[in-house]
Structures are given as structure tokens and as C-alpha cells.
Structure 1
């Protein structure tokens, strides 16, 4: 029995019929379209998400999401399931050794013993049942495919983790925007209500006409409608955030920072497109899927060759339990079997063709993952470069609109401008400030998108 097991172990490293793994060339240019001089060179390691998202309230929310998010839990359970499947598949390469024991009592009648004679038989031993000797690497290829699928699931978990961090950051920025837009609208509404009250008093004193009152009232109604919209946006953003957290937003959060002071890193080293192959977990996941598909071709090829299996048993047998372990009661059996496929109705060739098609599909998915990553990085780089300049220009718009509003208010008070001119100046100032808040939110979201597109600092 020891010799049989030793021989079987030597055969575990049998030949492999896997085709050579050939990765396609990068289906993207050698550099990003909007890369700067620093980005075109090899990039340094990306910062950890805590360095990227330094707002203490946001950091706490991300921690809660990583602990409680159901999608992330599902990804972790998928990893555990695929790992168990790999262990099951890999165990087929080793002989299964079973301990056996049994006993029989039998009565048989004969001419010499018409009442029947009772016979007894007791046995105990060790057995190896139908262990396949992997001469052509079929089991080895299946084990390699299962291991590659396990590694792909690990990368899938990293992808889910990175996506969750980015989603929580985006939801938090949406909540901050809704809150700051609501605060801006409340301040504006308070000013416009005061202006309406003053206009109504002047109209009562016959110093303003009914048109001025109607314009001021319409302005207040517009701000009130905007306030309801801001409140709705705030509630929806909070609901989305709670879904990502997998728990209610805690009351005792650290104080959040306004958009103008968000310490989100907006400049990141993009490096070269080739670095995405080791940074992006989704690309690494697609690569492992390619490895698995390649190994499955080897298993399908090995199915055409003879399959050798071994059944063996070594034990003891005796008519009496008390003498079972005495000398002279040993027994053994050795039953090798070889099976050569002759006619399968084309099934083996179809299975080989299927694995080859799946391998081609894995190559296409691998290339598509690289192209998608390249586009996402290019989009984020373009956004980052333009948002900063747009914010600077929009700040000038805000300053100019605020100056116009002050001057129009003075001229209107002096009777030099109409109420319509003042109304237009006030609306322009309000819209300019609101647009600036939107741009700040979009700028930080584009930085987070670049961080995600580059693969993030997620272990």
C-alpha cells in the first residue's frame, strides 16, 4: 500500500497539455492623451484611501461601509466559495485513503448439515478507491483553472472594495453639495423676503408700483421652490449614503468640511497605461480568467487520452473477531483500470472547441478591460485639467455678479435702475454661486474617479 501511494504521488506532476499562455499586446496607445510630463513617466505608488480622502467625516463613513456594506460581504462570501471549490478540485489529485471494517454472519444448508451451518467473517483494512493517475495532466489542468478562478474572485473583491470607497465618497459629496446649496438658498430667500417686505411697504406708501411687488414676490417664490428641491436632494443623498453604508448615518460623526475646504487630492500620478495591468484589480481579474480558460483547454485535450485509475485494498480477515489481528490473516487486492475513449458522438471534440471559444472570449474581455481602464483614466485626466481652470473662471463670475448686485441695489435705491435690473442682478449672483458649488463637487468627484480608474490604494 505504501508503494502504491508513493507511486501515485510521483505521478501527480504528470505532463500538462495546456497551451502556452499568450497575453495580447496592449490594445491602447503608449501614453494617455491628456498626460502631463509628470504623468507620462513611471508613477509613484498611489496613496491609501485615507490619504486621498482626508475629511474625517468621510473617513468614518468609508470605514462603516467597509464593515457593513452587503455587496462587499457578498464579494467576500464569493471568494470563500470559490476557494472551497478550488480545494475540492485540487483534492482530486491526491489519493483518498479510507479505513474499512465489516463483519458477516451467514447460514447455509447442505446435505451434510440440513439445519444449516453458520459462518462468520470479520475484516478491517485500508482502501484507495478509483484514484486517477494523472499521466496527461487532466486533473492538474482542472486544479490550475480552479486556482485561477479563485485568484480572479480575490481581485473581484478588491474591485468591489475600491468601487465602494469611490461610491461612498461620491455620495458624501452629493450630500455636502445638497446641504450647501440649501444653505445658500436659505440665505438668498431671507434676503429676498426682506426685499419683498420693503417693496410692499414702499408700495403702500405709493413709492413703488404693483409690478415691483409682483416681481419681488415671484423672486421669493422661486427661491422657495429651489429650497424644496434642495431639501429633496439632501434626503435622496442621505438615503443613498445609508444604502452604501449598510447602516444608518451615525449621529456622532466628526464635523464635515465644506466643499471649498475639502482636502481631496486632485492631482495624482497617472503613470503609463502598462501600469494599469498591476494596479487595476478588474484587469487582474480578467487576466486570471484568461489563465483559467487556458488551463481548461489543457483539461479538454487530456480527455482524449487514456484514463488510468487505481483501486487497491490492504487489510485483515478472519472468521473470529478475536483472531483478526493475528498473523496469517492478511489480505490485499490491486485493481488498476485503463479507459480509452473510442466513440463519444463528438462530445470530446465539442468540449475542446467550447474551451477554445471560451479562451478567445477571455482574451476579448481582457482587452476590453484594458481599453475601458484607459478610457476612464483619460476621461478623469481631462476632467481634472479643465475643472480647475473652470473653477477659477467661475470664481471671477461670482465676484463680478456680486459686484453687479451691490451696484444695482444702490442704483435702484437711488431711482436710477428699474426693479427688473436689480432682479436680474440678484438672480445672476445666486446662479453663479450655485454653479460654483456644483463645479467644486464635480472637481472632487473627477479626482475620485481618477483615483478609482488608476486602481486606487486598496489592498
Structure 2
């Protein structure tokens, strides 16, 4: 044990001093966040409403999705997706992979010390033996050693470690971005299924009314009151409604398949929507806040910035490649020609082999590598700026739709009410023989179209809420 302690002390203490010596700063450029290439305020104009937020309301991005979505069935579907969606699962596994890669790169900052023991038996023929007779040689060694440890005097290894760390942080932000997108996608698919079920319900109701009108017209035709044209027009309305029922039945099946895919498992029937809810969220004031707060804290932008920092650190490694690299190979141990002699005095053996390499001529490799790393940094800057511009556009689009969707909904509801009254009057006039059936047919089609359009506007309004929550960075909380 005394010999082993001496071996450890003889190897670990000098290497520890070298580790401290090599812990210098890197040669990477000092990082500074690029200026956001977007206006400091959101757009204004006829399509936008005032964005004054309530004083007691926290930023929308900090509202958990469990609080934002009030439908209990939708919340359960989102929970299923967070547990089963494969894209989110891949994002989580990417975090684990980059964490391991970072730890591998970080390990290069420290010497790799290995313990070894070896026994060597060799038969020496008499022609090669110094004694003139055949003999057997026995050698036993045991020791500790560090092979090819690089003294990071110019920060090359540390820059590579920083680059790996930023990649790890980027994957963390990527997972948050995937979760935001997933929550939004589940809500959108859920609403689309609800809207198509509403459309099917209207088509079925329309078919029932058209069938009743057709039966009435048929009776009137048999009595000689209605013409053959009236009967034919009534039949076209029935067949048109049947076509829509078949079409919406197909769409509902496709909507369910899409929802199952994004959730990652079959959604139980009791969790599927039965109707299109008028209210999506319990949050009263959907306001984005300042562009700087919204844009610079979105996970996709933080991911782009982490990748930019990684490219910046990689320049430090490329610069350090122009300077000497010092590698150390060292070992300390004991050796003897007999096993019992390993722990006796005079058995200590050691080796210290420093190696210095200085690039003299490399055909322009290091210079080209530095240029490539600088261009890569510039590419990351452009991608970071584009991410900010894309985010600004997404929020501005959501604000523009939000500023006009309520007026559109009110107008569409008024149009539907007017078409309903028009149908009532045209039917009364037809039954009294004042008008022909064509006016009834036109009124029925107008009402049906306005009802379907009303569902589309309601769906657009709810989807705008979901989209608005997504583009400001909401839904990323665990």
C-alpha cells in the first residue's frame, strides 16, 4: 500500500498541476448578441387592435397550457400527446445524446489515468542467451499511466468543450420548441375534428329538411299543385346534401387519423370533441408584450443563439490550431523479474515523455479551417436573425387576424340570421303559391352555405387563439 501511495502521489500531483496550468482562457472571439433586425414595436393599423395588457396579467408565454386550455377533454388529449408523441420523444433522446457528447468532450480537459499490470514469460534459446544455455525470463510490472494528455495552453480543447456545451443547450431549447408546436398541433387537430363534426351535423339536418321539402313537393306534384320542375329542384337539394354528408364523413375519419398520429396513440372516443366549443381559453386578454421580451425568449430563437455561440467557440479551436500542441505521456510503476520482488525496494520505474508539435507547413489546412469556422459563425448569425424575423412575422400575422376576426364573426352571424329569415319567408310565399320553388331552393342553399361559413369563422377564431399562444412561446412549461 505504501508503494501504491507513492505511485499515486508521483503521478497525480504533477498532472494536477498541469491541469491547472492548462486551464487558460480560450482564443474564441468575445460573444455579443446581434441586434434584432425587427422593429421595436408591433405593427399598427386598421387590422390591429390596441395591445394594452391588464396590469395583473402575467406574460402569456408564462401561462401553463393546463391553464390556457379550459376544455378538460382537450387537456387530457394533450397529456396523451406529451407522453406518446414520437417527435417529442426523439427531442428528449437528442438531449441525452448531446449531454453524453458534451461529457465526452469535457473529459479531454483531464488526464486519462489507467492502471495496468503485466506478466511476461519468455523462453530464450542458448544461442541468444548470455549464459550459453537455454533459460526462461520472467518479468512482472504494475503501474499507473496517462497517455497523450494535451496541455490546453491555447484553449483548443476548452473551445471544443464550449462548442459541445452549446450544442447540448440548443437541443434543450429544441425540445421546448417541439413541445410548443406539439401542444398547438394537438389543439388545432382537435378543433378541426370538432368543426367537421359540426359541419356533418348541419349537413344531416339540412338533408332531413330537404327530404321533408321533397316529400311535400312530391305530394303537391301528385295533387297537380307543383310542377315537375319544382319536384326536380327539390330532388337536387336532397342529393346535394347527401354528397356533403359523404364528404364530411370522410373528413372526420381523416381528422381522427391525424389526431391519432400527432398524439402518438389512439385517442379514446370519450375524449374526442362532440361540438365546436365557443370558448377555447380562460385567459381574457391575449396580449403579446414587447417584441424584445417575446422574440428573444422563444425556444427556437434561443436554440439558434446557442448554435451561434457554439460556432463562435469553434473559432477559438481553429485559432488554437496555429499554435504548438504539447502532449504528455507519463507513467509510474514497479517492475521485477519475480512476483515477490514487485514490492521490494529498487523496483520503482517511471517514464515521462513530453511531445511538442508545431505546424510548419500544412498546405493551408489550418488557415482554411479557420476561414470555414468564421463563415460558419456568419451563417449562424444570419440564421439567428432570420429566426427573429420569422417569429416577428408570426406574431404580427396572429395580431392582424385577431384584430379583425371578431368583426368577421359578428358579420357572419348576422348573415346567417338574415338567410334563416329569408328561408322562412320564401317557404311561406311558396306554400301560399306566391313564389315558385326556385326562391326556396336559393334561400336554402344560402342558409346552408352561411352556416358552414360560420363554422369556418368560429374555427379560425379558435385557431387564432391557439396560434397566438404558440407564437409568443406558450406551452413550453413541463
Mapping of residues 122-271 of structure 1, within 5 Å: 122-253=140-271, 256=274, 258-263=276-281, 265=283, 267-271=285-289
In the alignment, the residues of structure 2 paired with residue 61 and residue 18 of structure 1 have an alpha-carbon distance, to the nearest angstrom, of 47
1:292 aligns to 2:310 (yes or no): yes
Residue among 30, 35, 60 paired with 1:20: 30
Task: Note if contact 1:18-1:295 (Cα within 8 Å) is conserved in structure 2.
Answer: yes
Q: CA deviation at 1:117?
A: 2.2
Q: Name the residue aligned to 2:50.
A: 36
- Mapped to 2, the partners of 1:238 and 1:440 lie a distance apart of 20
**Partners of 1:124 and 1:241 in 2: CA distance:** 64
1:338 is paired with a residue of what secondary structure?
strand
Which blocks of at least 5 consecutive residues in structure 1 are unaligned?
A: none
Q: Is the 8 A contact 2:37 2:388 kept in 1?
A: yes
Matches within 5 A, 1:20-419: 20-33=30-43, 34=48, 36-38=50-52, 44-46=58-60, 47-108=63-124, 109=126, 110=128, 113-253=131-271, 256=274, 258-263=276-281, 265=283, 267-419=285-437
Q: Is the 8 A contact 2:53 2:285 kept in 1?
A: no
Matched-pair contact (CA < 8 Å) for 1:264–1:444: no
Q: Which deviates more from structure 2 when the two are superposed, residues 141-150 or residues 18-27?
A: 18-27
Distance 1:237-1:264 versus aligned 2 partners, 3 A rule: farther
Determine if contact 2:197/2:274 at 8 Å carries over to the other structure: no
CA distance in structure 1 between the partners assigned to 2:282 and 2:114 by the alignment: 61
* Superposition deviation, residue 114 in structure 1: 3.1
What is the DSSP-based 3-state SS (H/G/I as helix, E as strand, rest coil) of the residue aligned with 1:279?
coil
Structure 2, gaps ≥5 residues long: 1-10
How much does 1:322 deviate? 1.5
How many pairs were matched up? 459
**Secondary structure at the counterpart of residue 259 of structure 1:** coil
Report the Cα distance in structure 1 between the residues aligned to 2:239 and 2:186, rounded to whole angstroms. Answer: 34
Asked if 1 retains the 8 angstrom alpha-carbon contact of 2:121 and 2:137, the reply is yes
Aligned to 1:434: 452
SS of the residue corresponding to residue 52 of structure 2 reads helix
CA distance in 2, matches of 1:69, 1:119: 65
Query: Structure 1 residues 400-409 or 190-199, which shifts more?
Result: 400-409
Check the 8 A contact 2:111/2:146 in 1, yes or no: yes
> Per the alignment, in what secondary structure is the counterpart of residue 271 of structure 2?
coil
Quote the offset at 1:112 in angstroms: 5.8
Q: Which of the numbers 444, 461, 464 marks the counterpart of 1:446?
A: 464
Closer/same/farther in 2, CA of residues 422 and 254 from structure 1, 3 Å limit: closer
Instruction: Quote how far apart the aligned CAs of 1:326 are.
Output: 2.0
| Cα RMSD (Å) | 1.8
Shift of 1:118: 1.9
- Whether the aligned pair in 2 keeps the contact of 1:266 and 1:447 (CA below 8 Å) is no
Cα distance change, pair 447–29 in 1 and its aligned pair in 2 (3 A): same
Q: Map Cα deviations across residues 246-293 of structure 1 (whole Å, 9 max, x no partner).
A: 111113427655333444757422011111344310000000000000
Query: How far 1:176 sits from its partner (Å)?
Result: 0.2
Instruction: Please say which of residues 111-120 and 239-248 is displaced more in the overlay.
Output: 111-120
With over 3 angstroms needed to count, the CA separation of the structure-2 counterparts of 1:313 and 1:99, relative to structure 1, is same
Q: Secondary structure at the match of 1:185?
A: helix
1:48-99 alpha-carbon deviations (Å, 9 max, x no partner): 1122221111111111111111111111111111111111111111110000
Question: What is the TM-score when the length of structure 1 is the normalising length?
Answer: 0.96
